[in-house]
Amino acid sequence: MSLSLEKSSISLLLLLFFAITTTSSAHNITRILAKHPEFSTFNQYLSLTHLASEINRRLTITVCAVDNPAMDDLLDKHMSIYTLKNVLSFHVFADYFGSKQLHRITKGTTLTATLFQATGEAPGTSGYVNITNLKGKKVGFATEDNDGHFSANFVKSVQEIPYNISVIQISNIITSAAAEAPVAAPADVDLIDLMSKKGCKEFAKLLQNSKITKQFTDLVENGLTVFCPIDKVVNSFLPKYKNLTKNGQISLLLYHGIPDYHSLGMLRSKNGFINTMATTNGKNNKYDFSVKNEGDNVKLGTNIVTAKITETLLDEEPLAVYKIDKVLQPSELFKAQSINSDDTAPEPSSGNDDGDSNSDSDDSTNNNNGAMIMSVNCGWLITFFLSIGLVFV
């Protein structure tokens, strides 16, 4: 009886172990497509339009990839990057369709929502794709109102992680007048003026006085996220700021920017470390911080302070600006004994404060562009092994 109980307990723990390891794995569309050079252009534009990060954060998704010649035909239309994003988002389904599911559609036809529909950019239901089983075991793709004409067909399955992500190849771009409609670029935003009028005037002054505003504005087109501390905390922090060297001051200001666009939803969906504009290619100074979520609150943690996002000043891709309640203090510039203390000034770190750091990257979604570096919590693993030991006590 005792032996049977022990075996049952171990079996249960092993089941939990594999369940946790399975659910903790995440897909990465950039890495999946990187194994297939025939999709290199499609892969590149998923990153340029920031769709790759949106795909990666969703639990159930289908990506309809097209090869390089098909992408060349699309690019020959000379669309803006914003229109291209709509077109490509029309090729990402918010549901799972592997090869078997595509060939076994109930009643032979179905409508499925795309990311184009999910963004709210699609007029009416124009963001839905019709999937139909055709003669000769073919599968066709078209807009909802297609008059029986299907602009693309299923070619093959590229990679399937059942009910998580399915990447398939289709023959051509799915033609959609709604997705291909011209999209105007977002109006130019004066970053300094925005922050000055929204309670971050003192931080804006520091940027101007350090003459690094251009380093921020030059990144806006390709994606930028800024965390600006409120005036009250900046004023109280000024004595510490003035104790830093010139390079240290610049590094601290750059530490408040991420060279990539992160909506509040994206920040809420991931916990982990993130690179900043201060991150460089050295070995010792990473200048990163952690993003943590507690309920609806998003907190940014360094070894020195933990700041909270208190307000969204602007969230219009490719630019996001958030107000925070503390100045972010990197451990490269301050000693850790002053953690979460606003009253005691941290002593300058003895390390080099020139912003020299190392940022390893695996693909274009995290190539020193502020993409999330997911941290792994191993507490469950320790608990797992301890639990096995307790079974035999």
Q: Which helix (H) or strand (E) holds 225?
A: strand 224-229
Average pLDDT value for the chain: 82
pLDDT band per the 50, 70, 90 thresholds, residue 4 = very low
Alpha-carbon torsion (378, 165, 292, 358), positive or negative: positive
Q: What is the mean pLDDT of residues 315-344?
A: 77
pLDDT of 289 > 50? The answer is yes
Q: What is the pLDDT of residue 148?
A: 83
% the chain with pLDDT above 90: 60
Give the C-alpha separation, 342 to 358, whole Å: 29
Q: What is the pLDDT of residue 284?
A: 63
Q: Which helix (H) or strand (E) holds 193?
A: helix 191-197
Q: What is the pTM for the complete model shown?
A: 0.59
**Nearest one of 343, 344, 351 to 247, comparing CA atoms:** 351
307's enclosing H/E stretch is strand 306-316
Question: pLDDT tens for residues 179-205?
Answer: 999 987 777 889 999 999 999 999 999
Amino acid identity, residue 323? K
Render pLDDT for 331-348 as a digit per residue (tens, 0 to 9). 999 976 443 434 333 444
3-class DSSP state of 380: helix
| Structure tokens, 325 | 């309640």
- The bridge status of strand 306-316 relative to strand 319-324 is antiparallel
Strand 289-294 with 272-274, pairing:
antiparallel
pLDDT value at position 336?
A: 64
Confidence of residue 286 (pLDDT cuts 50, 70, 90): confident
User: Would you state the pLDDT for residue 229?
Assistant: 98
Whether omega before 346 lies within 30 degrees of 0, making that bond cis, reads no
